[in-house]
Structure 1
Amino acid sequence: MPSHRQVSTPSPGTAPPPLPWVVPALLGAVVGFLLLGAWSLAPNWERAFRSDQSPAAWLSGALLLALSVTALRMVGDRALPRLLGAWLALAFFVLALDEQFMLHELWKFRCHEWTDACRWSPVREAPMLAVAAVGLFTMAWLHRALLHTGTRALLWAGLAVGWLAIGVDQWPEVQARWRSLPELPALLTTLEEGLEVVAEALVLGALLRQPGSQR
């Protein structure tokens, strides 16, 4: 007689298992891309990270756009609440536009033409400071929607790395006020864009690891 293998399904009220293979594959691809970019520009490997036209900058924009599209798809899969998914899609799309068209740099270096308030450093740096603050709010909101501890850990790891990248970016402004502060290591400042990419990859990995609702 033919045997019928019974497929186990999660019991009602039990979270579906996460998708464990997604994060290693994604992080491996991202790190491989960055290493290939650095190798292709050797011996001036720093150009793979420091230029606004660098491979790292391109990858950052691509990941942000992928995050936006993924959030929309997750709403369709009932893996995220509709309002949260819409907010994530909009926020990441705006960040992708900023990465591609350097909008926050435009504000930082030209806002003095539009308002006298830009003589103050916090006004010039308002877009970056807003990303840090709104990012914390958004990650806290997303934390509640994620089903698994490991997925949440990836989310907060992404936020921590993102904050580190913002801190590296803002350090010269802080140092201008407190001149006794030390210089950051040159390697850390060079890899600022790489840190942004890793942060985005961790958050994208957290989203992709989230299973859809059982229909």
Structure 2
Amino acid sequence: AYLCTQGGPEIGVAATKSFLTQLVALEMLSFRAAFASGSLSRSEYDRATSEMASLPAKIGSLLGRLERIREIALKYSDRRDAFFLGRGINVATALEGALKLKEISYIHAEGYPAGESKHGPISLVEPGFLCVFVAPKDSSRQRIIGNVMEMKARGAEIFSVLTEGDSELIEVSDEHFEVPESPEYLYPVLCTVPLQALAYYVATYRGLDPDRPRNLAKSVTVL
């Protein structure tokens, strides 16, 4: 059996498009399975699929604001290390952001659960260390603010991907990028877009070709 994402050919070795389309396909599969098992009612299922259908427009709005990511990328393009931190389902988003940055810009980046960051990774933080937080208004938002403050107290520079209008988190972040307010299950998709763009722009500022990262081999065709 297979699940077709209908995403078209993946040209980039870093597989940005295929990550997002697979994420959406698996979410849709999960909703369908939950509905079939009775975990979701018909109205809940219809609402979820309707929200998923809003993703192209929401992603389009993000792409229209990538100049902001370009500015942030220029600021951080000379860094040697970075942490990407998230909670709950956005731990995977943080891992994707770190992977893309290290793959195409050759900056050492680690993705980590924000709740575990004090058990080891925080010992590496010093003034100017870049910490990227995936911190939308979801069920873990209040706890991640505490993680932001822990890193900031040790001199880290904070770049947060957050929900539009989150003034509390904006105030404690050095840089931020806002995504539209959405149901929690949409945030991994929406927050991935600016993180992938960050990696792209950092790579270009460092004079690198993001479509041809060194030492990588994948079963895709690079044209």
Shorter-normalised TM range: 0.3 to 0.5
**TM-score, reference length from structure 2:** 0.34
Question: Looking at CA atoms only, which structure, 1 or 2, has the larger radius of gyration?
Answer: 1
User: Greater helix percent: which structure?
Assistant: 1
Q: Normalization by structure 1: what TM-score?
A: 0.35
Relative contact order (alpha carbons < 8 A, sep ≥ 6): 1 or 2 greater? 1
Greater strand share, structure number = 2
